Structures are given as structure tokens and as C-alpha cells.
Structure 1
């Protein structure tokens, strides 16, 4: 099992992750990139538990996503069915992340951003624009840009649909779908292809 994930996380995190896997009894699968999520936790029909994490994440994103999903598993074990990203999950996630918020595991400039995110973690790490941008410097070049980097009025592609970038609302950006002329709201750090 150790070999399966060791290349995907920071080296100093391996003992902590190994402990969590052994302690909480689940299968970890590393899967091809999915558009809609970085990771997933589920109870399988046979009663066993499985966590999946995308293989395209850099080691810092991968670790955070893995602990996010382990927190779902631990929350389910402790509380049963509760709100997916509710107070129980947030508390468990914060607790599980404590050993990893360390300069031997995460780069020093990411630690304050990570600590800020963990004050009230969201369903997706991508909801935190600053943390996403900090993680991007460790990712392979994909040719994508964050939507907030696209100039207003410019065209971009997302899931093979062309949009025109509009105004920033409080936390999201208005974007016009050029095919159906409907306006959609995008998180600022969605990755898109500029045209």
C-alpha cells in the first residue's frame, strides 16, 4: 500500500498518512483526473470504504485532498450520516491536518495560507483563491489560466464551451456562454483555456 501513494505526497508526510490508512481501514485508489472533483470518499456495496484521489495533483494538493477525504471517512465512522462539509467534518479535518501543517511538509510560504483555509475549510480547496494560486506553482504546466487572470471581455474555453469573461461579483465572476447567451457564475480560480 505504501508504494501506491508515496510518490504523490511530501516524503515527511508518509508516516502520518500510513498511520491514518492503517488506523481507519479504507482502500486508497489513485485515479485519472476528473473535471468535477479532486477526491472522493464512499462506502462500497460490499461494506468496505474507498477513497480516490486524482493523479494529476501536485504533492501538496494531493496530501490536502487525501486528508480531506479521510476526514469524511472518520466523520462517517464517528457520527454516521451528517452534512457532508458541516461542523463535524470541519472539526475532524482540522484535527487530522494538524500534524501536516509543518514546514517539513508544506513550504513555509504556503503555511499561513493553509492555516487560514483550515479556520473554516470549504467543500473544495479550490474555493480558496490564494491557496489555489500558491499550489499552482508546484503543478505541471497545463496551458490553463485561472479565470481571474483572464482579462474582462476576453473569451475562454471551459469543458469545450466558449465563454466571455464578465464582471467580478463579490466572490464569483460572471461569464457569458457564447452558445446559449446565458450568464454563469464561476469561482475565481477555475482553470480555463484562454482563446
Structure 2
């Protein structure tokens, strides 16, 4: 049995690393620290084509977001082991697994108090992504490093011009229900942005 604690502690709170290391060994999971992906924080793939369980988590998450994402993906693994593909990806079965797997870290007080409280509220009805819970995502953002040049859409005054990581330029407009209407400068097409979408201001 290989101990991954030292490597994992570079990305997540050190007290959590031995637990995750044990999960990796027990499930015979191929766990990979991935490059940054704008579309998702982590990914789970069930056994297929000669591969076992596979989990990847973005390398650039802060330690608490990395751990929360890791638990999210292991909840998929645990759900698949029990139900295979007979249940919804983020249905009640997955939510029950997520709550169960998160408990050791909440009991050990691995998270700062503000994150601990946000997770406790989030666990009342876990969503497909921690990004879907605005309160949890905002609290996690407090612990991001080296993001002085990055802001969220909701922080910008109306009519502010901002840039995405891919170089596309937009202008922020009014809020429509839960999202902000934004116009792409080049095409004049309208897009709706999450209030917590991270952008660069020119």
C-alpha cells in the first residue's frame, strides 16, 4: 500500500492527506493532479476499457477548495460502486455519499470556521458543483492566492469592460434574476454570466 500523504499535503490541508491517501488505496483509484480547467474543478470517470476508477483535480485550487473537490469526486466513486449507472450523477444517493465522506473532515476541524459553516449549510442540499453554491464559493475565494488582478463579475460596476482568460472582451450590463447580462465587444452578442465568474479588468 503506497502512502500518498506527502504529495497530497502539497495541495490540501495536511491533516486530510492521510485520509485521502487511504481512499486512493482502498478504491485502487488513479488519482491525478490536473492542469487548470476553466470548465470544471475536478472530474470522475468510472472503470471502463481496462481502466479503473479515475479522478483528477485542478492543481491551482486553494487547499480547501482542492479538498472539497476531491471529496466531491470520491462521492461519485462511492456512488458508482454502490449503484453503478442506475442513479442520477448528483441525485440523492450521491448527496448522501458526499455528506458521509465529508464528515471526518468537519469533525477534525480541518477547515477554517467560515468555510466549516459554509460547508455545513451547503451539505443541506449539495449541488453539482461547489461553484453552484454562491456562499460557499465566495468564502473559498478568500483563501485564493495571487489573484490581485482577478475580480468576479458581481464586483464590477455596470458598463465595466472585462476580459476572460481566453482573451474575449465583454462589457457588463444589468443583473437579470441570478445572472448578469454581458455583451461581447467584438460580436455584440449577449451572454449571461454567473456573478462569481472570475474575470480580468483592463
Question: Normalising TM by the smaller chain, what interval?
Answer: over 0.9
Instruction: Give, in angstroms, the shift of residue 169 of structure 1.
Output: 2.3
Give the secondary-structure state (helix, strand or coil) at the position aligned to 2:33: strand
What is the distance in 1 between the residues matched to 2:153 and 2:121? 22
Map of 1:1-195 to 2, 5 A cutoff? Answer: 1-43=4-46, 44-81=48-85, 82-102=87-107, 104-142=109-147, 143-158=149-164, 159-195=166-202
TM-score w.r.t. the length of structure 2 is 0.90
Give the secondary-structure state (helix, strand or coil) at the position aligned to 2:88: coil
1:99-145 Cα distance to aligned partner (Å, 9 max, x none) = 11246300012211111111111112112222222212211123211
Higher RCO (CA 8 Å, separation ≥ 6 residues): 1
What is the distance in 2 between the residues matched to 1:116 and 1:179? 41
What is the distance in 1 between the residues matched to 2:79 and 2:105? 19
Provide structure 2 residue ranges, at least 5 long, that are not aligned to the other structure. Answer: none
Provide structure 1 residue ranges, at least 5 long, that are not aligned to the other structure. Answer: none
Note the aligned Cα RMSD (angstroms).
1.5
